Amino acid sequence: MRRLEELRAEFDKRKVKVITISTDLPNEIADERHLHGLQATMLSDRDLKVTDAFGLRNTAFHSGPPAGGAEALPVPATLLLDSAGKVLWIDLSKDYQRRSDPSVVLNAMQTYFD
């Protein structure tokens, strides 16, 4: 999240709306927001309805906390959408410990938004 905020000027230049979706509860998102400072609409999906609608539930080993959390987790993913809601680009993490550098997202925005 903190690294994604490095692209703030690029988002603003293109008037890109940034949405995040995670299994955090709303109050957890509010509590943790200051850690990364991301200016985005941050949504809670503890019941995985949105994750499942996008088909992004991780079906491999569930590596979340053993109790109190969501029953599964989304695969980390970044999507770019056009103004009609069509998916132009997807970056799916094959490994939750490996994330794409913000430069990958910037390259995709330059390719698909410019």
Partner 1 sequence: MLLGTKLGVGALTLAILTTGLWFYLTRQVALPNDRSVFVLAWMCSAFLGILALIKGTSLVGGIPSALAIIVSSFLTFTIYISPQKVDVVSVIKVGDIIPKFQALDDREIIFESKSLNGHLVLIKFFRAHW
Distance from C-alpha of 11 to C-alpha of 32, rounded to nearest angstrom: 22
- Which residue's entry shows tokens 């079906």? 59
* Binding residue for partner 1, selected from 15, 34, 37, 107, defined by CB under 8 A: 15
Minimum CB distance to partner 1 smaller for 9 or for 27: 27
Single residue of 12, 37, 71, 92 touching partner 1 by CB under 8 A: 92
Residue type present at position 58? N
37 touches partner 1 (CB under 8 A):
no
In the chain, what is the greatest distance between 2 CA atoms, to the nearest angstrom? 44
| # of chain residues touching partner 1 (CB under 8 A) | 80
